Amino acid sequence: MKNALSVLFLSLFCLLTAACQSAKAGVKDTGEKKGKVVKPVKFDYNKVYPAPDPKHKCADYTEVIPFKDPGSKLKKEWWKTAVFIEIFVRSYQDSDGDGKGDFKGLISRLDYLKKLGIGGIWLMPVMESSDNDHGYHTMDYMAVESDYGTMDDFKTLLAEAHKRGIGIIIDFVINHGSAKLPMFIEASTNVNGLYRDYFVYTNINPGKWTLEGKSDLWFQFPSGYFYAGFTPEIPDWNFFNPNVHKLMNDYIRFWLNLGVDGYRLDAVAHLYENGPNATYAQYESEEYFAEFREIVDHYENRYTICEDAKAEYMGPKKMNSGFSFGLNYEIMNSIKNGNPYNLPNAIHHFLNYCPKGAVYAHFLSNHDSFAGPRAFQWLDGDQAKCKLAASVYMTIPGIPFVYYGEEIGMGHFTKMWAEYALRTPMQWDATPNSGFTSAAKPYRPVNTNFAMFNAMVEQKDTNSILSHYIKLINIRNANPVIATGEYQFVKTSNGYHAMAHAVIGEKEVIIAVFNYSDEEETISLNFSYNPFAANGLKGGVDLFNGNAECVDITKENRGNYPVSVPGYGLALLKFQL
C-alpha cells in the first residue's frame, strides 16, 4: 500500500509540476506567475471544519533521487579560506534585454568576481518561485527560476565558476513552500487530501500563536486552518512528518547531483512548532541538521551554512557554519560612532563559542533589512569609513560574505520598501541603467548613486572602495592564516580611537591595526599580554602598505610598539614566529 501511494503521489506531483511548467513556458511574464491560487478565506474564529476521515491516510513518500556525486574540482575544504559574495541573480546582470538578471549575465561577470578575489558565491534562491522576485516562495524544488534561464544555463554557470576555482552554494528554502505548490493546493482544498499532513493544519481554531512579535500565524483555507510563520503565501512544511524529510532529501540530492557545492539553509529556527509559545528555535531542529548533514557528507567537498548564529546548530555533524548575526552591528556602529571599545569582546564571543569543527561567517549587511542597511548607507556615504568596515571584518578569522555591490559602495534607492531597497540592480557603469540591462526600464530602479559608484569607474581609481576590496581580499587569499588562525586582542594606548588584534598560525602571526580617527595617528601597541611576542619578533612587513619593513618587536619595546596608521586606515603587520 505504501509503495502504491508513493507512486501515486510522485506521479500526480510530476503531472502537476509539468502542467505548471508548460503553462509558464507559453506565457509572457506580466509580473506574477500564472497558475491556480488558493487564497485564505475570511477569518471566522468560530468555524469548525470537518475532521479528516478516521480511515484516511496521507501519502507515504519513497525517495527516488539516488546519490550521484559528480565529485569536486575545488581544492579540499575550499570554503575555509574563501571570501564569498552573496548574489541576487535577478539584480546582477541582464543578458537578454528583458530587464531582469539571469544566469548568462552572471556568467559574463565571473571574471570580475575572480579579479575581486572571490572564492565562493552564495546565490539567493534559484528554484522556480511564485513571488516573481526574491525567490523565497518556492513553487518547484527541482526546476530553475524560468526568469533566470534554463537548467543548461545553470549547469554552464557551475562549470564556468569551477574553472575559475569558485564554488557555488545555493539558498535552500526548507521551512516553507509556496501556496501555489500543487501539494498545498490539494491539501488546502481537500480535508482528506493525500498531502494534508505535509503541512501544519487543524480543523478548529488554534487560537493565538506567537513568533517574533507576530500573533497572526494561522490562516483559514477552504479545508481548515493552516500555519504560516511568515505570510499565508508561504505555508510551513510539517517537519514532524517523516515524509517531509524524505521529500526534502530528494530535493537536497537533486541539486548536489548537479554539482552544486553546498547550501545556505533559510529560516532554520522556524522548522518546528510545539505550541502557542514554542514556535522558534525548537530542539528538534538540531536533530534535523544531523540528518541533513549526513546526506551532504555523501558528497565530496561540500559546504553548509545556516541562517542563524546559534552555536548549537553548528559542528562536525551539523552545519559547517552559521552567520555571526549581531557582530555586524557591533562593527558598523563602532565605525559610525568612532569608538571600537566593545568590538573586541563581541569578536571574541563568536570565535570562542564556535564549536570545534565549525567556523562562523561574518558580514556587514545582506538582503534582509533586519540585518541592517547596506554599509554605504549605514555610514552615510563616507567612503573612508566603508573601507575601514571592510578592513575590520576581512581580518577576523572565519569566512567573510560580501553582499553584491558592497564592494563599490552601492547605496539604497530611498523611495522604496526596505527589502527592495537592499536588492536593486548591480551598478556596472555610468550609462543609463548602470550597465545592468539594455532594456528601456529595469525590473527595479537603479540606485541614484550609480554615476559615481560603479565597477567601471572604480576599477580605474586606486583610491576607490573597489580597489580597497580587491587589495584586501587578495592579501587575505595569499595569507590563509587570517582565515584559520587563533585570534588575540592586542592592547592599544590611543583611547577609543584605535583597535588592534592578532591572528596566529603555526609559523606566522598577522597583526591588524585600525585607526578610528580621521587623521593619521601613531598607535602604540602593548604586546605584554600576548605570548607570541614574549621573546620578540623580527623581519616584519606591512602587507597593506607595500610590504614596507617593520621595526622589530623586542623585549624592550613590546609594551610600547609604535605603528603609524592613516586616518580610518589599516596597518597589517606580518611576522614569522
34-41 contacts: CB < 8 A, separation 24 or more? Answer: 35/130, 35/139, 35/180, 36/180, 36/185, 37/179, 37/180, 38/179, 38/184, 38/185, 38/188, 38/189, 38/221, 38/222, 39/179, 39/232, 40/219, 40/220, 40/221, 40/232, 41/220, 41/221, 41/222
Number of Cβ within a 10 Å radius of residue 211: 19
Give the per-residue pLDDT at 22: 32
- CATH number where 195 lies: 3.90.400.10
In a domain, 451, yes or no: no
Give the per-residue pLDDT at 54: 87
- CATH number where 513 lies: 2.60.40.1180
The share of the chain scoring above pLDDT 70, in percent, equals: 93
Q: For 253-273, how does the pLDDT look when each residue is reduced to its tens digit (9 = 90+)? A: 999 999 999 999 999 999 999
User: At which of 213, 236, 259 does a domain end?
Assistant: 236
Indicate if the pLDDT at residue 153 is higher than 90: yes
User: At which of 196, 213, 236 does a domain end?
Assistant: 236
When divided into structural domains, the chain yields a total of 2
> Which one has a higher pLDDT value, 24 or 538?
538
In a domain, 313, yes or no: no
Indicate the DSSP class of residue 445.
P
In a domain, 505, yes or no: yes
C-alpha cell at 206: 488554534
Buried b (16+ CB within 10 A) or exposed e, 45-63: eeeebeebeeeeebbbbee
C-alpha cell at 436: 545592468
The pLDDT mean for the chain works out to 92
In a domain, 396, yes or no: no
Distances (CA, A) of 230 to 218, 219, 234, 366, 498: 10, 11, 7, 19, 42
* Strand ranges, E, within 211-334: 218-221, 224-227, 262-265, 303-306, 321-322
Number of Cβ within a 10 Å radius of residue 31: 7
**Helix 182-189 crosses helix 2-25 at what angle (to 10 degrees)?**
110
Indicate if the pLDDT at residue 400 is higher than 60: yes
Number of Cβ within a 10 Å radius of residue 312: 14
Indicate if the pLDDT at residue 43 is higher than 90: no
Q: For 67-94, how does the pLDDT look when each residue is reduced to its tens digit (9 = 90+)? A: 999 999 999 999 999 999 999 999 999 9
User: At which of 221, 236, 251 does a domain end?
Assistant: 236
**Given pLDDT bands bounded at 50, 70 and 90, which one contains residue 2?**
very low
In a domain, 132, yes or no: no
Nearest to 266, CA basis, from 236, 240, 305, 238: 305
Q: Tell me how far the alpha carbon of residue 81 is from its chain's centroid.
A: 17
How far apart CA 521 and CA 267 sit, in angstroms, is 44
In a domain, 433, yes or no: no
Contact (CB, 8 A) for 226 and 264: no
Which residues, other chains included, contact 428 with Cβ-Cβ below 8 Å and sequence gap of 6+? Answer: 93, 434, 435, 436, 454, 455, 456
How far apart CA 427 and CA 91 sit, in angstroms, is 10
In a domain, 212, yes or no: yes
In a domain, 84, yes or no: no
Residue recorded with cell 555610468: 430
SS3 state at 348: helix
How far apart CA 359 and CA 319 sit, in angstroms, is 9
What is the span of the domain harbouring residue 522? Answer: 487-576
Residue recorded with cell 523565497: 136
Indicate if the pLDDT at residue 42 is higher than 80: no
Indicate if the pLDDT at residue 18 is higher than 80: no
Contact (CB, 8 A) for 530 and 344: no
182-186 contacts: CB < 8 A, separation 24 or more? Answer: 182/12, 182/13, 182/16, 182/17, 182/20, 183/13, 184/38, 184/235, 185/36, 185/38
